[in-house]
Structure 1
Amino acid sequence: MAVRLIALDIDGTLLDSRWQLPEANRQAIAEATRRGIEVALVTGRRYDFAMPVARKLDSPLTMIVNNGALIRSKEGRTHLRHLLPQSIARQVLELTKPWREGAAVIFDRPLQNQLMLEVLDPDDSMRYAYYSRNKEFIGIAKPLETCLTEDPIQVMLSGKVALIREAESALRGAPFVENFALAVTSYESK
């Protein structure tokens, strides 16, 4: 059976440990698309945060981003969107108040206010580098629930592994757990 699709994660798969795109990977993707194989970049990243990597590839790509909630072409054409109903997002935010410092609400919007935060702390060394690279996409809403004027793509929590495990446990035990999907990525070594 011939290969028809290659799906690649970005971080740690397509990119090396220094977040660089090896020339061998670029050439392999170009050769695959030349042979008619579809290539998809699959990532937890937002579309706009994945695009700098996609632009380094001179090949047609399908972008599966936000942990699968959004599928777009490299050119920006949306093929599929799975949004989180506002009411469920509000319940998630209410349940995760103890971890609010690391909470964000992600929307499918052009540029500004894609990533909504309650606070942007320049002294937060763990998150501020990411915030700095994405400042054109970030908005502030205090309290965070006030940003829920439309269905978001996701509610995201970030922080130290032990704290995120607490939040994960609370969410898995939520009475409304069947109304949302939970995707967890942990970096034990960080």
Structure 2
Amino acid sequence: MGKNDEPRTKDEGQRTQDTGQRAKAVRLLAIDLDGTLLDSRSEISPANLQALAEASARGVQVLIVTGRRFHSARPFVEQLPCPVAVISSNGARIATSSGGVLYRNFLPAGVARQALEIAREYWPYAVAIFDVPGRGQVTMHEGAVIEGPLGWYLKSAPECLAQVEEFGAAITQDPIQVLFGGPPSRIAPLEPVLRASAAISSIHLTWTKYPARNTSLLDVMNKGCSKGSALAVWAKRAGIDPSEVMAIGDN
């Protein structure tokens, strides 16, 4: 996110030679939620709903790709007029719209504990996300602060929140991911700490930044886990060539 204000490449007027070959038709449409399918009010416009319905009617598969947890994305997915699959948590999970899990690429528990121990200073801003229903899906330290993810989850998903005294003891299964969120000035120094640590060989770091909200999220994912890698997995399983995939998003 946050790249929409980057300068666009200038059209120099060069034309490519017509080789007589036609581009392959799109068979898979991968679309982001926040900043793309959802507007500034977190709503899906009638025009977007109609466009998805028309694409599906032409035989195009629709795939939602988001950094959100599946449970956070699901209310929007349920509004869509066509069958979809959902890549959630920045590529860690693929599921049907009804929740049936098709693919997992979770952070190994031992790696999660290692990363959290390295980042102990940042526990007030840390979250471990688990693939479980209800309480414990979002697990935070008892010393979490309101300016971090605690404030968000108390407002949006209090029924999923559990707070623990010791993070290490709470990681009894592979989490989907670990994330650190809060004011950019507070979270940014953590990235070089993790990159210089022994954990970096086992993790993938992803930033999501919301300048207007003075908020940054640093996701700690399993090594090689990303939206792009999950999209490639899905396309291969569906027998769809990369040239037949259209991806739309701001991130």
Shorter-chain TM range is over 0.9
Instruction: For 2:38, give the aligned amino acid.
Output: L
Secondary structure (helix, strand or coil) at the match of 2:182 reads coil
Aligned counterpart, 1:115: 138
Take 1:130 and 1:31, find their aligned partners in 2: how far apart are those partners? 36
Aligned counterpart, 1:133: 156
Q: Does 1:148 align with 2:168?
A: no
1:161/1:187 contact within 8 Å kept? no
Take 1:176 and 1:108, find their aligned partners in 2: how far apart are those partners? 22
Q: CA RMSD in A?
A: 1.6
Aligned counterpart, 1:175: 198
Aligned counterpart, 1:11: 34
Q: Matches of residues 21-32 of structure 1 in structure 2 within 5 Å?
A: 21-32=44-55
More strand by share: 2
Take 1:113 and 1:79, find their aligned partners in 2: how far apart are those partners? 22
Q: Does 1:99 align with 2:147?
A: no
Aligned counterpart, 1:160: 183
Percentage of pairs with the same residue: 37
Q: Does 1:124 align with 2:157?
A: no
Secondary structure (helix, strand or coil) at the match of 1:2 reads coil
How much does 1:120 deviate?
A: 7.4
Take 2:54 and 2:162, find their aligned partners in 1: how far apart are those partners? 40
Instruction: For 1:142, give the aligned amino acid.
Output: E
Q: Give a deviation string over 1:56-107, Cα, whole Å, max 9, x none.
A: 1121111000110000010111111011111110111011111111101011
Take 2:133 and 2:183, find their aligned partners in 1: how far apart are those partners? 30
Instruction: For 1:124, give the aligned amino acid.
Output: I
Aligned counterpart, 1:82: 105
Considering Cα pairs closer than 8 Å and 6+ residues apart, tell me whether 1 or 2 has the greater RCO.
2
Secondary structure (helix, strand or coil) at the match of 1:92 reads helix
How much does 1:110 deviate?
A: 2.1
Q: Give a deviation string over 1:128-169, Cα, whole Å, max 9, x none.
A: 244321112111211222211111111111011122211112
TM (norm. structure 2) is 0.71
Take 1:108 and 1:43, find their aligned partners in 2: how far apart are those partners? 16
Take 1:129 and 1:184, find their aligned partners in 2: how far apart are those partners? 18
Aligned counterpart, 1:53: 76
Where does the alignment leave 5 or more consecutive residues of structure 1 unmatched? none
Q: Flag the structure with larger Rg.
A: 2
